[in-house]
Amino acid sequence: MTSVIIHLVTGVDLDDDTVEAMARSWRRVERLELQAQFGNPAPRASVGCLRAFVKYCPNLVGLYMTFDARVIPPSLDESPIIQKSLESLIVATSPIEVESAQSIAEFMAGVFPSLKDVRIMPGSRAMGPRNMSSRNGREPTLTFVVGGRSSLFC
């Protein structure tokens, strides 16, 4: 199995241990999508769950999932392994704080050096409770420079 696509009406409620078990079970997965049609519950999986894909899924090219990126795990920078295949990461409605965004981007660039595209979805809680201003009534965007490349979060 190289593609796992799960679309549920109310979302997917995962924690880090469940994500690790999935990654360990689907070692040959190339595309994994865990989507909610009407929004996810507040995610219990942390940004640290991405380490499972680094460790167990060397062929993963595309990932769509929600995780909590508001708190940076203390050992986030202790990932000596890199995953060279992941090019696209859709973080859906993953919450993230402005203060942690650069650290999260640096972590992702370090462990996923081929990552070219990181996106949030419209209506996300991505910046936590802060109000983000938009220009001309369009959705606000957030851009980070990751690994010398510009990464657009929109």
Write out 45-81 in H/E/C secondary structure: CEHHHHHHHHHHCCCCCEEECCCEECCCCCCCCCCCC
Nearest to 83 by CA among 63, 119, 57: 57
CA–CA distance, 126 with 96 (Å, rounded to integer): 5
In this predicted model, which residue has the larger pLDDT, 29 or 43? 29
In this predicted model, which residue has the larger pLDDT, 127 or 94? 94
Question: For the segment 106-153, what is each residue's pLDDT rounded down to a tens digit?
Answer: 888 888 999 998 887 765 544 443 333 333 343 333 433 334 344 444
What band does 36 get if pLDDT is binned at 50, 70 and 90?
confident
Q: How do the domains of the chain map onto residue ranges?
A: 3-153
Residue 113, SS3 per DSSP: coil
**87 Cβ partners below 8 Å, 6+ apart?**
61, 62, 114, 115, 116, 117
Judge contact between 86 and 60, C-beta under 8 A.
Answer: yes
pLDDT of 89 over the 70 cut:
yes
Nearest to 79 by CA among 48, 101, 100: 48
For 3-153, the fitting CATH number among 3.80.10, 3.30.870, 1.20.950, 3.30.70 is: 3.80.10
CA triplet 53, 56, 57: central angle to 5 degrees? Answer: 60
Mean pLDDT (whole number) for 52-58: 95
Nearest to 85 by CA among 13, 30, 136: 30
Residue 132, SS3 per DSSP: coil
pLDDT of residue 1: 67
